[in-house]
Every structure is written in C-alpha cells, then in structure tokens.
C-alpha cells in the first residue's frame, strides 16, 4: 500500500471519527444521563398554560431529564388546593388570587416563577338580552364567576372602575365550565371568566354575547408554585423544570405560528380565534415586583371586604423563591427587597 493511499485512509477515518464524536456530543446534550426524574404538575386547560403545552410537545422536559406527569384541574385554585393537601402535585400553576387566599392560612408554599401574564385574559361577557350595554348597567344584575379565583377579584375591580360596589350586584358562584350555558339560559346576566371558556360562551351565544371593555383594568399572571420543603429537597429538579419552560418560552416568541398550532390542537380551537387571542398574552419567565404588588392589592381588598378575619397583609417576599430562577437566569429576577 502506498503512502498516499495510507494517508487517504487515515484522513477518511479521522473525518468519520470526528463525525461520530460530534453525534455523540449532540446526543449527550439532548439526552441527559441517568434515570429521568419524575415530576407532577397541576394545571388548567387554558391559554395561560401554553408554555407547558409546548415544552411537553417539543420534548423539552425530557431533554432536561424530567418525566413529567400533568394533572388537569378546572381552575388554578383547585390545582393549588391539591398541592397544599399533599395529593401528589409537585408544582401547581395558579393566578395571584388563590395565592393570596392561601397566604392568610399558611406559609409553607412559595412562587417559583411567573411564566405568563395578560391584561385581557379575564373577560366580562354579558347576554345582550339582559339589556346591559355598559359597566353602569350591571347594577342590580347577577354575575357568575368561580369564587376564590381571580374572577372574583376582577368583578370588584371592574365595579370600582365604573363607580359601583359589590352590593350593587349579586355574585353567583359557578364552576368555569358551567358559566357559558348559565349565561345562555339566563341564569345569570353576565359572567366573568377566562379563556377558553370565554371563547366557548361567545360561540354558544353568538351575536347575543357581548364583551364589555376591560383592558388595563386587571393584570393577571400565572405562576408556578411549590411547597417550600419540596423546593429545599429538589432544587436541581426545579432548575431543570424552569430551563425546559425557558426553552418553550423562547420557542413561543421565535416560532409563533408553530406554537399556535400546538395550542390549537391541545385546546381544540380554530386558527382565527387563536391568532386573535394570542396577542393578549406575554410569555416570559420572571419574578418581578408586579407580582408582589398584585398580591398585596388583592390581600388588601380581602381584608377591606371582610372576606378574611386577618387584619394584616402578609409579607409576600416570604412567598417567593428567587434562588431557583436566579440559578437559571439571574436577569429574570427583579424583585425589590
């Protein structure tokens, strides 16, 4: 064999080995070594959960070494209750109001991160047959919403904005899925509800469903919550979870059309509605001062309206765990101590 031939063979082998090395490296980046860590997440089937839907669909949780089980609940409040009761939920996804309600009773849980917010997710929809044309027309009317959720606080905020009080209306406690039919059958005159139930109500009532303007009245966020003792024992697992959610957030913001298709499939919505609603949401992994302000505002209202016998607002800095998110992305934490 000539030296030239030998040199050629060696060159080819080097290229092959380099390719194999690159492939092995890529595989090691995508498939973490060792057994997948089991994690159970409680969430609702709503637009707010898009980050989780996409992280699951794209395999980001498995890339981070997690075997995620999702438990569906009718509301964030129900998912939080399951976590607090020790019913097998490791992380719950919930809006601020249920957090505040629970904060008056216990201090053994905390917010891991906010992952999305919107100024127009919660909607006040009226049945046109009730004669309501503006916020002032709600006086003397029946409004349905799930008590103990952000819907209840939204009603108060909306009424205050229109110079009305809670005694000017009758609030009816109904599960989210029952609200559209209750509005259609005139059991209530209006409903306060989030997506996709708001869309379902508008589809059910068609031209008789009218949404009253409420943009900028209330900023609703969805947040990941954990028990403090779980966080202490599973810090690495929670970091992996947030890394997967950050990947999903980046995907949402860089591949909007593809992300929407995943949500459309998950929630059985159509493209036109999804595209319209999508613009109402900001997908971002954070822990910022806006969350603390929302918690304090809602706690203040609960005390003022005597929905709790507590007299002091909790210190909500004791209900956040910034260290986990700081380890993943320090710039995402902007809390003021």
286 and 242 belong to one structural domain: yes
Alpha-carbon dihedral angle through residues 295, 299, 302, 307, given to the nearest 10 degrees: 100
Per mean pLDDT, which range of 174-183, 257-266, 299-308 is the poorest?
299-308
- Predicted pLDDT at 282: 95
| Number of structural domains found in the chain | 2
The answer, yes or no, to whether residue 89 has pLDDT greater than 50, is yes
Q: Which of 143, 177, 212 is the last residue of a domain?
A: 212
The pLDDT tens digits of the residues spanning 24-36 come to 444 444 445 568 9
- Predicted pLDDT at 148: 84
Which CATH number belongs to the domain containing residue 292 in this structure?
Answer: 3.40.190.10
28 found inside a domain = no
With cut-offs at 50, 70 and 90, classify the pLDDT of residue 280. Answer: confident
260 found inside a domain = yes
276 and 224 belong to one structural domain: yes
- Predicted pLDDT at 25: 43
238 and 325 belong to one structural domain: yes
Which has more pLDDT, 309 or 270? Answer: 309
The answer, yes or no, to whether residue 271 has pLDDT greater than 90, is no
The answer, yes or no, to whether residue 241 has pLDDT greater than 90, is yes
Task: Give the residue from 293, 244, 277, 301 showing the smallest Cα distance to 115.
Answer: 244
- Predicted pLDDT at 22: 45
- Predicted pLDDT at 215: 64
Which has more pLDDT, 200 or 113? Answer: 113
202 and 108 belong to one structural domain: no
* Percentage, residues of the chain above pLDDT 90: 69
The parent domain of residue 233 ranges over: 35-119+220-332
The pLDDT tens digits of the residues spanning 20-77 come to 444 444 444 444 556 899 999 999 988 889 999 999 999 999 999 999 999 999 989 9
189 and 303 belong to one structural domain: no
- Predicted pLDDT at 207: 92
79 found inside a domain = yes
Contact (CB, 8 A) for 45 and 56? no
Per mean pLDDT, which range of 50-59, 266-275, 306-315 is the poorest?
266-275
Give the Å distances, CA to CA, from 237 to 92, 198, 322.
Answer: 15, 35, 15
The answer, yes or no, to whether residue 3 has pLDDT greater than 90, is no
Contact (CB, 8 A) for 293 and 96? no
- Predicted pLDDT at 26: 44
- Predicted pLDDT at 235: 97
Average of per-residue pLDDT values in the chain: 89
198 and 232 belong to one structural domain: no
The pLDDT tens digits of the residues spanning 133-180 come to 999 999 999 999 999 888 888 998 899 889 998 899 999 999 999 999
| C-alpha to C-alpha distance for 115 and 100, rounded to whole angstroms | 18
Q: Which of 156, 181, 212 is the last residue of a domain?
A: 212
SS (H, E, C) the chain: CCHHHHHHHHHHHHHHHHHHHHHHHHHHHHCCCCCCEEEEEEECCCHHHHHHHHHHHCCHHHHCCEEEEEEECCCHHHHHHHHHCCCCCCEEEECHHHHHHHHCCCCCEEEEEEEEEECCCCEEEEEHHHCCCCHHHHCCCEEEECCCCHHHHHHHHHHHHCCCCHHHCEEEECCHHHHHHHHHCCCCCEEEECCCHHHHHHHHHHHHEEEECCCCCCCEEEEEEEEHHHHHHCHHHHHHHHHHHHHHHHHHHHCHHHHHHHHHHHHCCCHHHHHHHHCCEEEEEEECHHHHHHHHHHHHHHHHCCCCCCCCCCCHHHHECHHHHHHHCHHHECCCC
Residue positions counted in the chain: 337
With cut-offs at 50, 70 and 90, classify the pLDDT of residue 9. Answer: low
115 and 207 belong to one structural domain: no
Contact (CB, 8 A) for 115 and 51? yes
87 found inside a domain = yes
| C-alpha to C-alpha distance for 337 and 334, rounded to whole angstroms | 9
């Amino acid at each position: 064999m000539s030296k030239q031939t030998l040199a050629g063979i060696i060159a080819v082998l080097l290229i092959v080995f380099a390719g194999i090395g690159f492939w092995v490296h890529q595989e090691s980046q995508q498939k973490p070594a060792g057994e997948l860590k089991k994690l159970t997440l409680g969430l609702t089937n709503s637009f707010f959960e898009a980050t989780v839907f996409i992280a699951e669909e794209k395999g980001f949780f498995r890339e981070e070494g997690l075997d995620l089980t999702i438990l569906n609940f009718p509301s964030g409040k129900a998912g939080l209750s399951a976590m607090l009761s020790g019913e097998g939920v490791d992380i719950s996804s919930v809006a601020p109001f249920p957090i505040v309600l629970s904060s008056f009773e216990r201090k053994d849980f905390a917010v891991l991160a906010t992952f999305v917010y919107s100024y127009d997710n919660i909607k006040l929809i009226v049945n046109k047959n009730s004669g309501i044309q503006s916020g002032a027309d709600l006086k003397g009317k029946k409004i349905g919403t799930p008590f103990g959720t952000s819907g209840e606080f939204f009603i108060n905020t909306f009424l205050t904005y229109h110079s009305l009080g809670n005694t000017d209306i009758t609030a009816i406690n109904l599960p989210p899925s029952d609200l559209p039919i209750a509005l259609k059958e005139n059991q209530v005159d209006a409903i306060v509800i989030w997506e996709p139930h708001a869309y379902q109500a508008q589809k059910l009532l068609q031209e008789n469903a009218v949404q009253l303007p409420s943009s900028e009245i209330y900023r609703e966020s969805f947040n990941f919550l954990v028990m403090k003792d779980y966080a202490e024992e599973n810090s690495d697992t929670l970091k992996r979870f947030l890394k997967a959610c950050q990947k999903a957030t980046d995907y949402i913001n860089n591949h909007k059309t593809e992300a929407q298709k995943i949500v459309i499939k998950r929630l059985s919505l159509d493209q036109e509605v999804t595209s319209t609603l999508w613009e109402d949401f900001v997908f971002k992994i954070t822990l910022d001062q806006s969350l603390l302000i929302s918690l304090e505002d809602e706690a203040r209202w609960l005390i003022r309206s005597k929905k709790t016998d507590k007299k002091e607002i909790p210190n909500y800095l004791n209900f956040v765990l910034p260290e986990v998110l700081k380890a993943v992305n320090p710039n995402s934490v902007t809390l003021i101590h």
